[in-house]
């Protein structure tokens, strides 16, 4: 379990999600999130460190974004912060209130996506991008997501996963017809 090992002092003022209605650019947010991560990477194929990661420039742009703390055991992953639209999509509280494992917070259909995203970001130490759909009766839920590793400290086992997730529901048609 992640618990409070990070220390609230490290996360103070790291993320401030704006209140009120936000107008996310959902199709571009995954790309913009990756671009921001790359600008903060010390070099090509290198993972940024938290100490040098610029969260200040995106304080008001957390609508669909999230920050997860984890170690190599992804089942221990817990949200540190997330935006308002992300919370609404996953039916989460407005803000993170406790270090509760993801599997106890997110809907079951998203659990494999978040587990694989976190795992891939940690093991490959590169952006883990996903696009796909979940089928539900007569609707399909289309999603886009990216999971990006950030090292807390060069010698620590815990990591942050910075990312973006969005989905929308569309009417699905039966391929077999009537």
Category of 172 on φ-ψ map: left (φ > 0), alpha (ψ -120 to 50) or beta: beta
For residue 131, report the phi and psi dihedrals to the nearest 5 degrees.
-140, 135
pLDDT digits (tens, 9 = 90+) for 74-130: 888 999 999 999 999 999 999 898 888 998 999 998 999 999 999 999 999 989 999
Hey, is 173 helix, strand or coil? coil
Percent of the chain's residues with pLDDT above 90:
43
The pTM of this model reads 0.80
At residue 135 the predicted structure's pLDDT band, cuts being 50, 70 and 90, is: confident
11: which residues sit within 8 A by CB, 6+ positions away?
80, 81
Measured in whole angstroms, how far is the alpha carbon of residue 63 from the centre of its chain? 11
C-beta of residue 62 within 8 angstroms of C-beta of residue 83: yes
Q: How far is residue 23 from each of residues 18, 20, 142, measured CA to CA in Å?
A: 11, 10, 19
Backbone dihedral region of 177: left (phi > 0), alpha (psi from -120 to 50 degrees) or beta? left
| Closest residue by Cα to residue 141 from 105, 106, 167, 113 | 167
Average pLDDT for residues 41-55, to the nearest whole number?
88
**Phi and psi, residue 151, nearest 5°:** -80, 130
**In the prediction, which pLDDT does 173 show?**
63
* Angle value at C-alpha 88, between 38 and 64, nearest 5 degrees: 10
């Amino acid at each position: 379990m992640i618990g409070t090992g990070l220390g609230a002092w490290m996360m103070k003022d790291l993320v401030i999600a704006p209140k009120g209605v936000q107008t996310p650019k959902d199709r571009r947010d995954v790309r913009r999130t990756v671009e921001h991560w790359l600008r903060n990477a010390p070099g090509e194929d290198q993972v940024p460190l938290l100490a040098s990661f610029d969260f200040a420039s995106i304080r008001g742009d957390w609508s669909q974004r999230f920050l997860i703390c984890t170690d190599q055991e992804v089942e221990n992953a817990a949200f540190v912060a997330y935006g308002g639209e992300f919370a609404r999509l996953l039916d989460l509280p407005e803000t993170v209130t406790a270090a509760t494992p993801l599997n106890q917070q997110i809907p079951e259909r998203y659990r494999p996506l978040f587990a694989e995203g976190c795992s891939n970001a940690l093991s490959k130490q590169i952006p883990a991008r996903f696009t796909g759909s979940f089928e539900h009766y007569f609707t399909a839920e289309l999603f886009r997501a990216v999971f990006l590793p950030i090292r807390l400290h060069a010698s620590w086992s815990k990591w942050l996963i910075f990312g973006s997730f969005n989905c929308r529901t569309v009417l699905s048609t039966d391929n077999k017809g009537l």
